[in-house]
Amino acid sequence: MKSLLGPTLATLSVAALLAGCSSPQHQEITVFAAASLQPTFSELGSQFEKDYPGTKVTFNFAGSADLVTQLKHGAPADVFASADTANMTAAVDAGLTAGEPVNFASNTLTIVTPPGNALNITTFADLADPGTQVVVCAPQVPCGAATEKLEQATGVRLTPVSEESAVIDVLGKITSGQADAGLVYITDASRAGSRVESIPVPESSSAVNTYPIAVLAESANPSAAHKFVELVTDPRGQTALTAAGFGSP
């Protein structure tokens, strides 16, 4: 019966296509990662696609809290990498993760100034000098939480002129010459290159943000997701992270 031929052929081809898609060659994964991981993870994503031809890695870089909110509201993703343990805990508590998160990197703060360091800042305490316009992250975001820890560790209370919601905005105020100094991650400073001057803070080791990564429960491709996590935690991933300025987990 001719009338059944068409639909039958169509169904068979779709089935073949789907069968083909379930092999590792044609897999797509979506990775939600903290904004500070952008250059490194993008690089690792390309590496992943070379290692497993036919795969495609899509990234969503944003503030960690934002990512958790999106995941809670049903955004589809396979992997989540957070800039601190607090946000990963929130994700775990919401039942979003599959299995235990793994710590893969850490980040510490550094002082940055516009090129020239006009006010000749050398220590953390210099930031509290009257007349110095300092910009930091707000306590509600991971880098801001680290800043507070740093204040406690050094005993120096800062009076910033602005508390930004994203570390990239802090960096922006330095590179545009708006402020005298700011506190950002070491990775941000190295990314900014010659647009800022970095002044290391010895006490920063007491305010470390640990970065965990986890496969998500709703992942459509758990095997590919696990392979990505492996890449991040294996020597190649670790080398890339260290090169960007991240510390060991």
Query: What is the contact surface with other proteins in residues (CB under 8 A)?
Result: 63, 65-66, 69, 133, 135, 138, 140-141, 160-165, 169, 172-173, 176-179
Amino acid at 148: E
* Token pair for 188: 């941000």
Distances (CA, A) of 196 to 9, 30, 37, 182, 187: 63, 33, 19, 10, 12
Residue with Cβ nearer other proteins (42 or 69): 69
Residue with Cβ nearer other proteins (48 or 211): 211
Min dist. Cβ of residue 131 to other proteins (A): 11
Min dist. Cβ of residue 65 to other proteins (A): 4
Residue with Cβ nearer other proteins (135 or 229): 135
Residue with Cβ nearer other proteins (55 or 113): 113
Min dist. Cβ of residue 194 to other proteins (A): 17
Min dist. Cβ of residue 20 to other proteins (A): 41
Angle at alpha carbon of residue 150, lines to 90 and 145, rounded to 5°: 20
Min dist. Cβ of residue 47 to other proteins (A): 31
Residue with Cβ nearer other proteins (31 or 179): 179
- Quick check: helix, strand or coil at residue 163? strand
Distances (CA, A) of 102 to 79, 96, 210, 246: 12, 15, 10, 16
Residue with Cβ nearer other proteins (87 or 219): 87
- Taking a C-beta distance cutoff of 8 angstroms, is the pair 182, 111 a contact? yes
The Cα 203–Cα 225 span in angstroms is: 36
The Cα 110–Cα 91 span in angstroms is: 28
Min dist. Cβ of residue 117 to other proteins (A): 15
Amino acid at 133: Q
The Cα 186–Cα 182 span in angstroms is: 12
